[in-house]
Homo-oligomer: A and B are copies of this chain.
Amino acid sequence: MSASQRRPSGRREALSAPVIVRAAIEILDEHGEDALTFRLLATHLSTGAGAIYHHVANKDELLEAAAAELVAGIESIAGAAGAGEAEDAAPSAPAASDADVRTLVLDVFDLIEAHPWLGSQLARAPWQTAVIHVFEAIGQGLVVAGVPERSLFDVASALVQYLMGAAGQQAASARIPRDVGRTEFLTAIAGNWTARAGRGERRFALAMAAQLADHDDRLQFAAGLDLILAGAAAIPRA
């Protein structure tokens, strides 16, 4: 029996936390959050389910690590510019503005849209590494954009919470069965509201039902984001 035969075809590298996290992300991306099982993961890694626990404490930690991995690519503009190296240089034009923070938040939104399970995971635990990373990037962007220090925490938190709300919605959207068309699904929902809309009841939801069927999640998210940024911009500077 050669050494290569002791290592079955499914796994080339030795079992380790990064390898496990990578395999988990693959399953999550391809088959959705419900598909991630320690048994299936073990099969993909050509090992037993118990082996995973030698490298990862439990499923929660695995999901946190997977989320952190995806979000690691998100960098604040300020961070990327290497602030701190030229602290004493003459004050130049701000390295980031509200528009950069806007782009940053939309990047995270796009990442969630591409990996809906990430939406579930981010919304689930506010103190995990991935959320802190996003919070940090947004916060640094706001500093450079000139948001007054006394409002930094409030504005950053508002942006993160809004983002978490949208994250949950994206994850929920992804849970709609694929064979049901999204439009059909939303039309059915709208029909359900309509049926219950008595005289004067649910007039607003009813009026919005038409818009719902063909709206664009990202545009709508951006519109709300702009409300928050407009509110932040209206804060009097120190």
Contacts and interface: CB of A to CB of B under 8 A. Distances in A.
A166 B164 CA distance: 8
Contact of A189 (B127, B163, B202): B127
B168 A164 contact: yes
Nearest to A228: B227
Interface string A136-165: 100110010000000011111110111111
Given A158-B227, A227-B155, A205 B135 contact: yes
A3 interface: no
Q: How large is the interface on A (under 10, 10 to 19, 20 to 34, 35 or more residues)?
A: 35 or more
A224 B157 contact: yes
A123 interface: yes
A132 interface: yes
A229 interface: yes
Contacts of A156: 204, 208
A176 to B, nearest CB: 9
**How many subunits of this chain does the assembly comprise?**
2
Interface in A67-123: 79, 83-84, 123
B136 A168 contact: no
A166 B165 contact: yes
Interface stretch (A4-12, A14-22, A44-52, A230-238): A230-238
A27 to B, nearest CB: 22
Nearest to A123: B168
Contacts of A234: 230-231, 234
Contact of A165 (B140, B153, B161, B173): B161
Given A126-B169, A154-B223, 4 more contacts: A136-B203, A152-B208, A157-B224, A226-B231
6 contacts: A84-B199, A123-B123, A153-B208, A153-B211, A158-B162, A165-B165
